[in-house]
Structure 1
Amino acid sequence: MGCFGRTFALIVCLILALPVQGLTLRVGVYDNYPLVYVDKAGKPAGLHVDILNAVAQKEGWTLDYRILSWSDIYTLTERGLLDVATSMVMTEERRQWFDFNRIPVATLWGQVVLPADSPVKTLQALDGARVGVLKAGINGIHFQKLVARAGLAPKIVPYDTYQALLKAIQSGELDAGVINSFYAINLRDYPGVVTSDIVFSPSRVGFGFPKGQHEAVRERIDSWLTEWKGRPDSPYGRSLLRHGLVPAADGAGGDADTGFRDDRILWGLSTALGVVLIVMFVRLRRRLLDQTSQLMATLMENRELTRTARHSDDLLQGVANALPDLVWIMDDQARFVKRLGVQSTHLADDPEKLIGMPVEDVMPPPHGQRILDAVGRSLESGETQTVVMEFVSKRDRKLHAFEVRISPVEPRDVHRKIIAVVRDITHEKTLREQRDMDHRLLEAFAHAMPDLGFILTVEGVYVAVIGDESLLAAPAHELIGRNVRDVLPKQVAEALIRTIQESERTGRLETFEYTLEVPAGTRHFEARISVPRHPESVTGQERHAVLVSRDITERIQAEAQIRRLAFFDDVTGLPNRKAFQDNLERMLLAARRKGVTLALLMLDLDDFKAVNDTWGHPAGDLLLREVAQRIRHLLRAADVVARLGGDEFVIIQDGIHSVGDIAVLCGKLMSALEMPVKLEQAQVRPRASLGIAISEGGEVDSAELIRRADLALYRAKEAGKGQWAFYDERLSDQFAEQVTLMQDLEQALESQDQLFLVYQPQVDNETGRIVGVEALLRWQHPERGLVAPTRFIPQIEDSHLVHPLGERVIQLAAKQLAEWDRLGVAPDSLAVNISAAQFRDRQFASRVLVWLEDALCDPARFELELTETALLRDIEDVSKVMGVLSGEQIRFSLDDFGTGYSSMVYLQRLPFYKLKIDKDFIRGITVNSHDREIVRAMITLARNLGITCVAEGVETAEQLAMLRAWGCHLSQGYYFFHPMTADELTAILTGKADGLDSSARLVAPDAFVR
């Protein structure tokens, strides 16, 4: 080479030796512990990362780590989208697409791993087996070439990560897997997976780069590796020590003089031996303890066979020093010959004193004899023997658990030795026992729960199932491993998957209800689902959903029964009075919206009482059912027919074109009803009277329309049996009377003595004690006398008087409650009825609090009564007002319960303290099974919700006895007290009730104790 050529080469070498300043490298890392991995903090780590970080610090580089799968790293580096691939095996084939640094970081082998109970011992045994490999992994490629050369055909299954591959072995999806020998260290995290004796294809591992790129970077990495290898205090040496590895004996490269060839051969032999021992050490670190013993035996044999190789004995001692176990060499009489490693022993303070001593003289009985027997069995069979024992350590005087693995050293001759590997398993044993106890407690808790418990993957695969199998879609053992889409109806399965996904997205507890056919029949369930979030440091692990499913069939059935009993007549199956009222309101609203005419027909059977009196109620019920069927047969599908009670029926028709249409219908009804009805004892020919009221465009409200139909019915009855009549305006003379009455009421508000309150006590059904009082408004007219509440109170709700009257009632009641409190006789609560119009007032809550404060009234004793009608109209406003007042300890009761569709919903959503059963239900419980079932269901519902139940309109001892038997808390009615003045009730509360009018006195059952 000329002068210019030598100068140019020197300049190039100097340039390559200079640091490549300001360079940013995109580096791909993946899970291949300990060479490269992501630590618990979510940061890249491992031997390659430590080296690269150290070089980058020296050279002033910036490293941009990308955590990917190996197959993605392979592809992106090949395309130049990554600058560096960590832990890439250097092969000639790969040099077509990649460049490598010259100095390898480590040397590793391909390693076959198996389930712990696998019978596989040889490569040939894998023919036809399911074998997992890493996608684009070199060990998988070498393995496939190896089995192909051997004429074997295992089923190869590729995986993105070693983690997924090892989990597949644990779950039984694979019969074997191929990993690298270093990654075998991680098998401690995969119980049930062990290394096999099948190893192959040693490979050098280093850094991979895109073809033709980063030559200067490669040279700098090689330069630092050359300097650091062989130095324990270098970044390379410290990383080896931190990860429990022995550095590979890879040189820095370069040619040596031929005069040293013999020394190089000897050094190569020692290096090869060192590499073999390193590989065996890596396998030894993470295999079961029996493989540890076999490895040590193999090391002993190799040491004898290669005495001339330098450093082998030191390396053997280094391997033992790196083990977490205590390793002893013993003779065939179980005498201690030599201790390997530096771990302390629990057998003596000075381990050297044990040399030459038999094991039975060292270990406490009977453990010494057990070790001696295990030595004999191992020598005889040539197999590893395991002994587990517990004794008090001589070093710390504490009880320890130990596992001893005993393996014979080959060959079989008179000088045979034993390798005994002793591991302190105290901590593992304690953890295992605690884990077992936790598992048993959790299992006991799960079985004690009445609910079904499931753990599923977020994709919907069953992982664990606990619960009554009669409520499962399939037996528990058949569900495990199956997807909900394969088990549940499509609609239920899709709803379940959506709910799981929603919980995974939001991190919140999600619920949904579903119905399922199970061995126990059709059942309704409420599912609660939560997807626990993994810590941010945990990546790549499958997420699971926890599902608790509660059987709510009885609740659903109870709610349906209450609705059915509350809205349908049990004799005819027709809607009852409450359902009729709701339908009338709905159809009037539609008539107003559409501008159509609506007709209300009120029908009353003539002489029905005579049927009951003559042939009994069963005959009367049969007649009612026949009449109901005939009426339904004549009506359109959109028409409504209901039974109001007794022999009263009503019909609602909308879309009426003329009065003539109604007249035709009335004629048909009369004709149909007069047809004979055959009873068991006789044949009757029923007749009926009809009253008809018309609302054009829905301008007449429901109450007025009913009143008009009732007046028309009265007129028809006056005309004789079997007649029908339309409402006549002349029947409305009372309207003028009503207007006059409202004007008088407005004047009464200005007076101080016309409007006053009376009080009706509420009595504890068990003790007879007065525990509450309801305040009722009364009007003493100067000319008319005492005006019945039914004449003026219904008209107030939609008038301008509702607010001043409501204010007057609350103020009077608050003052009286404060007075009783001052006397020390105040009942637990005083209730005042509140209208929906008052709740629509946004200032209502603040005004109530001011009125109570002015009266010096304790708000905790003050109670506001709402009707379901008020709730149905203004539920949102009511909820806000109730929230404010409840915060000030004012309590609420729900009056006339059962008269609306949504009672159960409101009981759940609103803070009710009391539930009052309407007197219409109470009146019939002694004679009507329908009313009995409704009342009993309401009492049960109230008790289950923790709400005090009050029965209104109790008038007989028989009613009280039934209510007490069903668990009703309180009663109110004439059986105990008529409404009375404040003075009369004060006398009763203070025990000075003598001389009061009998209508105000308590009718006290003998069973009550006053």
Structure 2
Amino acid sequence: MIGINSDITERKEYESRLEHIAHFDALTHLPNRVLLADRLHQAMAQAQRRGQHLAVVYLDLDGFKETNDHYGHDTGDQVLVTLTQRMKEALREGDTLARIGGDEFVVVLIDLEDTSACLPLVTRLLAAAAQPMHLGELILQVSASLGITFYPQTQDIEADQLLRQADQAMYQAKVAGKNRYSIFDAEQDSSIRGHHESLERIRLALEQGEFVLHYQPKVNMRSGKVIGVEALIRWQHPGKGLLMPAGFLPVIEDHPLAVSMGEWVMDAALIQIERWRAFGLEMPISVNVGARQLQQSDFVERLKAILAAHPQVSPASLELEVLETSALADMVQVSQVIEACAQIGVMFALDDFGTGYSSLTYLKRLRVALLKIDQSFVRDMLDDPDDLAILQGVIGLASAFKREVIAEGVETVAHGTLLLQLGCELAQGYGIARPMSADQLPAWVAAWKPDVAWSDLRLSLNQE
């Protein structure tokens, strides 16, 4: 019987050691990842029941690797053991301190009335980690970077997500200078994730052909001729209907997707020129080029490749519009691109002219064929003397530098009449036509005639 009892005792001791190894860190005897997960789940359930908060703190030591490398692993181990004892003393009974690897620890702070209640404890943890240690003849000092997140949150969240949030916040503390804490911003993270999801959805839409071009006519109000159209992108969203560019273009503005979309627009415009030509309609198209696309070092080569895929279309049928502010971002590079494109027959227009830092110097350096007066000046020119003065100035500049000028935002007959009197004949805007689908354009072109007031003005000016 004594032998049997001895065997049972040894087996139980062995099982107990295995249990300890499975759930505790061998060096510090703190809970490991496995036990931490269990404790965190229990703490989350308790917080829900009691209507309280808990905090998850991810702690990473600053300068520990250097200490470990310089003084050896034995000294490094002594540092970890000493710090463990100090941090345990800084916490309350019921809180959990776990070591999850190397110099990384996780703390679960429970029974918090509100999120701010954790801050005194966090401050104590920082102080405990930064206190100098006397190890034999050595005096060593490290510090800690802490990331904090809370539970519950406005959205349902799992334990592993809390750990990831705290880890992200800890990284922010490191970036901000170490030896400090950072609190995870759930709202900002949601915004970032939403932004990422939006990017992926736009990428998918591009692959699946959900984008379409609509076209707004540009006319000569004096002669009545339709001189071209501006291509405007729309998203034919399967669930939300037709979306305007303001709903998706800002998402990709600083992303490589902006280049892919810009090149898709160019290609789609050239295809449309071919289709209209088959119906007997010769119609140049202007497309907008974003700053990101224009700044590509191989912009001209890529443009040539797109044009080469449509050998039946003259490069002169494609006009590129660049925002004035984008052109100014890198004057030298943009002027070189404009020159190179002019050599292959593709001309540039300077869009939203007057909104940037207009000067004679850069107008002279940029070989743009056309200046587009920003619609904000055109829209208010009938009532605002300042806008009218700017308009007169731009038209005068265009004439002096032998550039054509077109007014955007012509909404009424009166707008067109005043522009004609100022010497601006080219225009686009809702007073002429709203953007329309490709199949609507031929009929509109066939039917369009300038307003009688513009025709009468033309006749009176001719007689003078």
Q: 1:733: how far off?
A: 6.7
SS where residue 436 of structure 2 aligns? coil
Q: 1:795: how far off?
A: 2.6
Task: Give the alignment of 1:523-672 within 5 angstroms.
Answer: none
Give the Cα–Cα distance (whole angstroms) in 1 for the partners of residues 263 and 270 of structure 2.
11
Task: Give the alignment of 1:882-961 within 5 angstroms.
Answer: 882-961=338-417
- In the alignment, structure 1 segments of 5+ residues that lack a partner are 1-698, 700-727, 994-1001
Give the Cα–Cα distance (whole angstroms) in 2 for the partners of residues 731 and 883 of structure 1.
43
Q: CA 1:765–1:734 in structure 2 vs 1: closer, same or farther (change >3 Å)?
A: farther
Give the Cα–Cα distance (whole angstroms) in 2 for the partners of residues 943 and 835 of structure 1.
27
Task: Give the alignment of 1:728-739 within 5 angstroms.
Answer: 737-739=194-196
Equivalent pair of 1:897/1:903 in contact (CA under 8 Å): no
| Counterpart residue identity of residue 266, structure 2 | I
Give the Cα–Cα distance (whole angstroms) in 2 for the partners of residues 889 and 793 of structure 1.
28
Q: Which residue of 1 aligns with 2:86?
A: none
Task: Give the alignment of 1:427-438 within 5 angstroms.
Answer: none
Equivalent pair of 1:868/1:903 in contact (CA under 8 Å): no
Q: Which residue of 1 aligns with 2:307?
A: 852
Normalized per residue, the structure richer in helix is 2
SS where residue 759 of structure 1 aligns? strand
Q: 1:958: how far off?
A: 1.3
Equivalent pair of 1:832/1:865 in contact (CA under 8 Å): yes
Equivalent pair of 1:820/1:826 in contact (CA under 8 Å): yes
Correspondence for 1:758 among 211, 214, 234 = 214
Q: CA 1:911–1:778 in structure 2 vs 1: closer, same or farther (change >3 Å)?
A: same
Give the Cα–Cα distance (whole angstroms) in 1 for the partners of residues 196 and 423 of structure 2.
45
| Counterpart residue identity of residue 199, structure 2 | M
SS where residue 248 of structure 2 aligns? helix
Task: Give the alignment of 1:607-1006 within 5 angstroms.
Answer: 737-752=194-209, 754-827=210-283, 829-855=284-310, 856-989=312-445, 991=446, 1004-1006=450-452
Give the Cα–Cα distance (whole angstroms) in 2 for the partners of residues 849 and 969 of structure 1.
32
Q: CA 1:904–1:729 in structure 2 vs 1: closer, same or farther (change >3 Å)?
A: farther
Give the Cα–Cα distance (whole angstroms) in 2 for the partners of residues 1008 and 899 of structure 1.
28
SS where residue 786 of structure 1 aligns? strand
Q: CA 1:859–1:741 in structure 2 vs 1: closer, same or farther (change >3 Å)?
A: same
Q: TM-score, normalised by structure 1?
A: 0.26
| Counterpart residue identity of residue 404, structure 2 | T
| Counterpart residue identity of residue 438, structure 2 | A
Equivalent pair of 1:756/1:779 in contact (CA under 8 Å): yes
Give the Cα–Cα distance (whole angstroms) in 1 for the partners of residues 225 and 253 of structure 2.
34
Give the number of the structure whose alpha-carbon radius of gyration is greater: 1
Equivalent pair of 2:348/2:369 in contact (CA under 8 Å): yes
Task: Give the alignment of 1:234-253 within 5 angstroms.
Answer: none
| Counterpart residue identity of residue 767, structure 1 | S
Instruction: Name which structure has the greater RCO, CA cutoff 8 Å, separation 6+.
Output: 2
| Counterpart residue identity of residue 287, structure 2 | V
Q: 1:788: how far off?
A: 2.2
Equivalent pair of 2:416/2:454 in contact (CA under 8 Å): no
Q: 1:849: how far off?
A: 1.7
Equivalent pair of 1:768/1:1008 in contact (CA under 8 Å): no
Give the Cα–Cα distance (whole angstroms) in 2 for the partners of residues 934 and 797 of structure 1.
29
SS where residue 304 of structure 2 aligns? helix
Give the Cα–Cα distance (whole angstroms) in 2 for the partners of residues 980 and 733 of structure 1.
36
| Counterpart residue identity of residue 841, structure 1 | Q
Q: 1:967: how far off?
A: 0.4
Q: CA 1:780–1:735 in structure 2 vs 1: closer, same or farther (change >3 Å)?
A: farther
SS where residue 348 of structure 2 aligns? strand
Q: TM-score, normalised by structure 2?
A: 0.55
Equivalent pair of 1:948/1:969 in contact (CA under 8 Å): no
Q: 1:986: how far off?
A: 2.3
Q: CA 1:729–1:894 in structure 2 vs 1: closer, same or farther (change >3 Å)?
A: farther
Give the Cα–Cα distance (whole angstroms) in 1 for the partners of residues 415 and 212 of structure 2.
31
Give the Cα–Cα distance (whole angstroms) in 1 for the partners of residues 208 and 433 of structure 2.
29
| Counterpart residue identity of residue 215, structure 2 | Y
Q: 1:915: how far off?
A: 0.2
SS where residue 773 of structure 1 aligns? strand
Equivalent pair of 2:321/2:349 in contact (CA under 8 Å): yes
Task: Give the alignment of 1:395-406 within 5 angstroms.
Answer: none
Q: 1:737: how far off?
A: 4.6
Q: 1:838: how far off?
A: 1.4
Q: 1:751: how far off?
A: 0.6
Equivalent pair of 2:417/2:454 in contact (CA under 8 Å): no
Equivalent pair of 2:413/2:453 in contact (CA under 8 Å): no
SS where residue 962 of structure 1 aligns? helix
Give the Cα–Cα distance (whole angstroms) in 1 for the partners of residues 368 and 202 of structure 2.
32
Give the Cα–Cα distance (whole angstroms) in 2 for the partners of residues 939 and 797 of structure 1.
31
Give the Cα–Cα distance (whole angstroms) in 1 for the partners of residues 383 and 193 of structure 2.
40
Q: 1:810: how far off?
A: 0.3
Give the Cα–Cα distance (whole angstroms) in 1 for the partners of residues 386 and 188 of structure 2.
36
Q: 1:914: how far off?
A: 0.5
Q: 1:930: how far off?
A: 0.9
Q: CA RMSD in A?
A: 2.4
CA shift digits 1:109-152 (9 cap, x unpaired): xxxxxxxxxxxxxxxxxxxxxxxxxxxxxxxxxxxxxxxxxxxx
- In the alignment, structure 2 segments of 5+ residues that lack a partner are 1-174, 176-184, 456-464
Give the Cα–Cα distance (whole angstroms) in 1 for the partners of residues 449 and 433 of structure 2.
7
Give the Cα–Cα distance (whole angstroms) in 2 for the partners of residues 871 and 963 of structure 1.
26
Q: Which residue of 1 aligns with 2:168?
A: none
Q: CA 1:980–1:735 in structure 2 vs 1: closer, same or farther (change >3 Å)?
A: farther
Q: CA 1:957–1:842 in structure 2 vs 1: closer, same or farther (change >3 Å)?
A: same
Q: 1:903: how far off?
A: 4.1
SS where residue 778 of structure 1 aligns? strand
Give the Cα–Cα distance (whole angstroms) in 2 for the partners of residues 772 and 836 of structure 1.
23
Q: 1:794: how far off?
A: 2.3
Equivalent residue pairs, number: 272
CA shift digits 1:631-673 (9 cap, x unpaired): xxxxxxxxxxxxxxxxxxxxxxxxxxxxxxxxxxxxxxxxxxx
| Counterpart residue identity of residue 750, structure 1 | E
| Counterpart residue identity of residue 945, structure 1 | F
SS where residue 889 of structure 1 aligns? coil
CA shift digits 1:717-760 (9 cap, x unpaired): xxxxxxxxxxx9969976655443322111001112x1010100
Give the Cα–Cα distance (whole angstroms) in 1 for the partners of residues 285 and 258 of structure 2.
20
CA shift digits 1:754-803 (9 cap, x unpaired): 10101001010212221121011110111122222112112322012011
CA shift digits 1:201-238 (9 cap, x unpaired): xxxxxxxxxxxxxxxxxxxxxxxxxxxxxxxxxxxxxx
Equivalent pair of 1:839/1:877 in contact (CA under 8 Å): no
Give the Cα–Cα distance (whole angstroms) in 2 for the partners of residues 788 and 767 of structure 1.
32
| Counterpart residue identity of residue 791, structure 1 | G
Q: 1:1003: how far off?
A: 8.0
Equivalent pair of 1:951/1:970 in contact (CA under 8 Å): yes
Give the Cα–Cα distance (whole angstroms) in 2 for the partners of residues 772 and 740 of structure 1.
37
| Counterpart residue identity of residue 360, structure 2 | M
| Counterpart residue identity of residue 838, structure 1 | Q
